[in-house]
Structure 1
Amino acid sequence: MPLFRFTRKGGLSRGPRPHSPLPWIALIALIVGLIALAFAWLAGWIGRDRPTAQGFTDTIEATGPAHPGFRRAHSKGVCVSGWFEPTPQGAALSRAQVFHQERVPVLGRLSIGGGDPHGADAQARVRSIALQLVSDNGQEWRMAMNSFPFFAVPSPEAFLEQTQAQLPDPSTGKPDPAKMAAVLQKYPSARAFQQWAKTAPWTTSWANTQFNSVNSFWFTAADGTRQAVRWSWEPQAAVEVLDETARAGAGLDHLADEFATRLASGPVRWNLVVTLAGPGDVVEDPSTPWPAGRPRVQAGVLSLAHMQPQAGGPCNDLNFDPLILPDGISGSDDAVLAARSAVYSHSFNRRERETARGEAGGAAGVSK
Structure 2
Amino acid sequence: MSLFGYTRAGQEPGAPRPPSPLLWIALIALIAGLLVLAFAWLAGWIGRDRVTAQAFTDSIEATGPPHPGFRRAHTKGVCVSGSFQGTPEGVALSSARVFAQRQVPVLGRLSIGGGDPHGPDANARVRSMALQLVSDDGQEWRTAMNSFPFFAVPTAEAFLEQTRAGIPDPATGKPDPAKMAAVLEKYPSARAFQQWAKTAPWSNSWANTAYNGVNSFRFTAADGRSRDVRWSMRPQAEFVEMTADQRAQAGLDYLADEFQQRLAQGPVRWDMWVTIAEEGDPVDDPSQVWPMQRRQVKVGTLSLAAMQPQADGACRDLNYDPLILPSGIAGSGDPILAARSAVYSQSFNRREREIANGTGAAATGKEGAK
Q: Who is 1:340 aligned against?
A: 340
CA distance in 1, matches of 2:335, 2:38: 19
> Offset of 1:28 from its aligned partner?
5.6
Alignment of 1:208-227 (within 5 A): 208-227=208-227
- 1:362 equivalenced with 2:365 (yes/no): yes
Q: Who is 1:303 aligned against?
A: 303
- 1:6 equivalenced with 2:4 (yes/no): no
> Offset of 1:27 from its aligned partner?
6.2
Bigger mean CA offset, 255-264 vs 169-178 = 169-178
Q: Who is 1:68 aligned against?
A: 68
Query: Match for 1:356: what amino acid?
Result: A
CA distance in 1, matches of 2:20, 2:104: 60
Alignment of 1:14-25 (within 5 A): 16-17=15-16, 20=19
> Offset of 1:113 from its aligned partner?
0.3
Q: Who is 2:282 aligned against?
A: 282
User: Unaligned 5+ residue runs, structure 2?
Assistant: none
CA contact (8 A) 1:5 1:17 kept: no
CA contact (8 A) 2:73 2:115 kept: yes
SS, match of residue 214 in structure 2: coil
Q: Summarize deviations over 1:179-211 as a string: whole Å, max 9, x none.
A: 111111111000000010011111111010000
> Offset of 1:15 from its aligned partner?
7.2
Gap change, CA 1:13 and 1:19, over 3 Å in 2 = closer
Query: Match for 1:365: what amino acid?
Result: A
CA contact (8 A) 1:90 1:99 kept: yes
> Offset of 1:30 from its aligned partner?
5.2
What's the Cα RMSD here? 1.9
CA contact (8 A) 1:149 1:214 kept: yes
CA distance in 2, matches of 1:78, 1:37: 41
Alignment of 1:179-328 (within 5 A): 179-328=179-328
TM-score (norm 1): 0.94
Q: Who is 2:350 aligned against?
A: 350
Q: Who is 2:89 aligned against?
A: 89
Gap change, CA 1:276 and 1:27, over 3 Å in 2 = farther
- 1:48 equivalenced with 2:52 (yes/no): no
CA distance in 1, matches of 2:259, 2:126: 17
- 1:174 equivalenced with 2:174 (yes/no): yes
Query: Match for 1:195: what amino acid?
Result: Q
CA distance in 1, matches of 2:19, 2:322: 51
> Offset of 1:352 from its aligned partner?
0.7
> Offset of 1:125 from its aligned partner?
0.1
Bigger mean CA offset, 242-251 vs 315-324 = 242-251
Q: Who is 2:109 aligned against?
A: 109
CA distance in 1, matches of 2:287, 2:29: 44
Gap change, CA 1:173 and 1:137, over 3 Å in 2 = same
CA distance in 2, matches of 1:288, 1:302: 26
> Offset of 1:72 from its aligned partner?
1.2
CA contact (8 A) 2:128 2:146 kept: yes
CA distance in 2, matches of 1:124, 1:43: 33
CA distance in 1, matches of 2:53, 2:213: 21
Query: Match for 2:54: what amino acid?
Result: Q
> Offset of 1:349 from its aligned partner?
0.5
> Offset of 1:32 from its aligned partner?
4.2
CA distance in 2, matches of 1:70, 1:242: 28
Query: Match for 2:95: what amino acid?
Result: R
Q: Summarize deviations over 1:101-149 as a string: whole Å, max 9, x none.
A: 1111000000000000111111100000010000111110001110000
CA distance in 2, matches of 1:314, 1:218: 29
Gap change, CA 1:305 and 1:17, over 3 Å in 2 = same
SS, match of residue 313 in structure 2: coil
CA distance in 1, matches of 2:352, 2:199: 38
CA contact (8 A) 2:7 2:13 kept: no
CA contact (8 A) 1:5 1:16 kept: no
Bigger mean CA offset, 112-121 vs 26-35 = 26-35
> Offset of 1:344 from its aligned partner?
0.6
Query: Match for 1:166: what amino acid?
Result: G
Q: How many residues align?
A: 362
CA distance in 2, matches of 1:13, 1:24: 23
CA contact (8 A) 1:5 1:15 kept: no
Gap change, CA 1:7 and 1:247, over 3 Å in 2 = closer
CA distance in 2, matches of 1:34, 1:103: 51
TM-score (norm 2): 0.93
SS, match of residue 313 in structure 1: coil
Query: Match for 1:82: what amino acid?
Result: G
CA contact (8 A) 1:317 1:365 kept: no
SS, match of residue 215 in structure 2: coil
